Amino acid sequence: MKNVNGKNTVKGKYVKGGFQTFPNGKTVYVEDFIENPQQYFKDSTFNPTTYSNKYNPDGDKTKVRVLLEYVGNKQSFWKINQSLILNRIILSNIVTVVIPFAGSGSDFLTIAPLLIEEIKKSGKQIILVFNDLNTSIVNLLKKISSKFFRQQLIREVRQIILDQKELLDENPTLEDYKVYHKLLVEELNKLELDREMNVRRAALFLVVMNTTFGGNYEWKNGKSRISISSDIKKFQGYSKVIEKIKLMSFYLGYFKVVIENKDYKKILKKYDGINTLFLIDPPYLQQDVDVLVSTKVTYGNPDFPHEECINMVKGLKGQFIYHNYRNNVQTKMFSEDKTIGHIEVHKAINNTKSISNKKKPRCVEVIYFSTWNNETTVEETTPEVSTVETQPSVQEETVVEPTTVQTVPLIPTYPMVSMFPMVSMTPSMVINNNIHYRHLKVVIPFLKSVS
């Protein structure tokens, strides 16, 4: 094989592994591997950002890769996840894709280009189900997946950016930015505790989650606990948040989107079937220990039932891709089922700092996956799909809008109606609809004077 420069290139190849028994009777597992991975990835996979830049209808270009800064983001796994989709998942069977632990949505983004290619090729509709117990994540995904609310979300983020420029000095310091960030978090927490599911809450959550330190975050007692970054560039880059909304919107526009707010067990039971693909990314286990215990990063759920989760994954009728750190008990449990494969990925721990220019500490992430054979038949019926659901006590905005996302990912051009009374005006004569803005004009100078 020759490339455009006339040089010989070796085509990449995905080689399936599996359990092998040797003459001495010993059985070992041989992992899947890729011959000439650089060429294989180039020929067979799609960078999600590059794919969006190429096909989004408005022609915008971006470098963003994820919706939120979040511990455990999977943006670096798009090559290996897509390789598994191409070689281990029977994509022609899939009519429903379920993410039981939605988080930042990065699990979906890693494989989204291949799903869209399948939609284009087959003409079928794929149902995309996000689930999370965190109502701020649920609220944000609902607003982005709605063409109506998406435009309001973009406007609200722009207002937050404008407020920051109006309220801070011409050359704000890191401490100035932190004061403003702290006030945004306080306003977010009030909306969370009041169980308001509105655009303002979604905008605040999205902005502050993109200025965290290492993506460290916890959902506890009904509100967000967010670490504050010491990187001033993050506070100066709020405009990137709008690019992230547009990136996610482009991909969601190809699917029928359902957003749930349930315990993961109910989601696995509800959507399980041979036409379902589960992307499962539970809280991380402590690595290489003989007990199923979560790491310190628990997302507010320190007692997550890992054994129960693994047993449910093993019993799924549908296909799955499951991520976690390597753990001795987990390894033993999955190895009991010879139809489940795995690949180990050695990587740096992203939310840790290197010391004295030394390399970051590394971890081993294991990806477990179903290994169906190609004779699997397609189920004729599709699983029941609910409307968007949240906790019964959560207060929704009164605007009624469809839960289905249209297949053409375009931002609507019809005028939007303000959801809040106009109560103040910024120094630049831009109307500000947020009552909290008036408080900031007093609080920020006061906090700066006493700090």
d(CA 253, CA 87): 26
C-alpha 173/C-alpha 211 separation (Å) is 15
Note down pLDDT in tens along the chain; length 451 residues.
Answer: 445 455 556 899 999 999 888 899 888 899 999 999 999 999 999 999 999 999 999 888 999 999 987 766 788 899 999 999 999 999 999 999 999 999 989 999 999 999 999 999 999 999 999 999 999 999 999 999 999 999 999 999 999 999 988 888 788 898 998 899 899 999 999 999 999 999 999 999 999 988 876 557 788 888 988 877 777 877 777 789 999 999 999 999 999 999 999 999 999 999 999 999 999 999 999 999 999 998 877 666 778 999 999 999 999 999 999 999 999 999 999 999 999 999 999 977 654 554 455 565 678 999 999 997 544 444 544 444 444 444 434 444 544 443 443 333 333 333 333 333 333 333 333 334 454 544 455 455 544 544 4
Split into its structural domains, the chain has a count of 3
247 lies in the same domain as 279: no
User: Do residues 230 and 316 both lie within one domain?
Assistant: no
- Residue 339 sits in which domain range? 72-133+261-350+360-372
* 327 in the same domain as 288: yes
How far apart CA 210 and CA 161 sit, in angstroms, is 13
Please answer whether residues 40 and 87 qualify as being in contact, where contact means their C-beta atoms are separated by less than 8 angstroms. no
Q: How far apart (Å, rounded) are the C-alpha atoms in residues 152 and 313?
A: 38
Note whether residue 169 is domain-resident.
yes
CA proximity to 208, closest of 136, 302, 294: 136
429 part of a folded domain: no
User: CB–CB of 199/156 below 8 Å?
Assistant: yes
Statement to judge: residues 146 and 248 lie in one domain:
yes
Domain boundary among 223, 254, 285: 254
Whether residues 304 and 212 share a domain: the answer is no
Does residue 189 lie in a domain region? Answer: yes
Residue 120 lies in a domain: yes
The answer on 272 and 237 residing in a single domain is no
Both 28 and 120 in one domain: the answer is no
Q: Are 276 and 192 part of one and the same domain?
A: no
Residue 421 in any domain: the answer is: no
Is residue 62 one of the residues assigned to a domain?
Answer: no
Same domain, yes or no: 153 and 101: no
- CATH number, position 334: 3.40.50.150
Residue 99: inside a domain: yes
Name residue 346's beta-bridge partners.
364
Asked if 226 contacts 208 with a C-beta cutoff of 8 angstroms, the reply is: yes
Q: Are 213 and 177 within one domain?
A: yes
CATH number where 245 lies: 1.10.1020
* CA-CA-CA-CA torsion sign (139, 145, 148, 154): positive
If asked whether residues 145 and 248 sit together in one domain, one would say yes
Evaluate whether residue 111 is within a structural domain.
Answer: yes
Measured between alpha carbons, how far is 416 from 50 in angstroms, rounded to an integer? Answer: 31
